[in-house]
Amino acid sequence: MTSNKYAELFVPCEFNDGKPVKESYLDYLAHAFCVMFGGVTTTDAHGRWLSEGKLYAEPVRIFRVDSDSDKLREAFTRIANNVKADLKQEAVYIRFGSVDTELIK
């Protein structure tokens, strides 16, 4: 068993006007994580939150990387800032943590 860190980036699949984010953009992000960390797991989900009394809901794609790299937080924060700008978002959500992992071969 190995102790690793993980990071998850929640990327909106729609712009604020409801138009879909191009799949090629989401594929680009997945490829970038693979190049940086050797792999990524993606999950499609739906996020909901309240802001100033209004309920918002949107589809998201979660990009998760487990890694022992010291660059994990820095890389995810940089990419999150790029996603925020590219998709014209007020904010994007990142989650960091620790996890014990085991690769069964």
Residue 27 covered by a domain: yes
Residue 104 maps to a domain: no
Domain annotation covers residue 6: yes
Which candidate, 61, 92, 87, 89, places its Cα nearest to that of 76?
92
The pLDDT assigned to 3 comes to: 86
- Of 53, 51, 1, 84, the C-alpha closest to 76 is 84
Count structural domains, the chain: 1
Rounded to 10 degrees, what is the CA torsion of 82, 66, 61, 88? -10
CB atoms within 10 A of CB 12: 20
Along the 105 residues of the chain, how does pLDDT read in single tens digits?
788 999 999 999 999 889 999 999 999 999 999 999 999 999 999 999 888 999 989 999 999 999 999 999 999 999 999 999 999 998 999 999 999 988 899
Containing structural domain, residue 87:
2-97
Do the Cβ atoms of 95 and 45 come closer than 8 Å?
A: no
The answer as to whether 105 is a domain residue is no
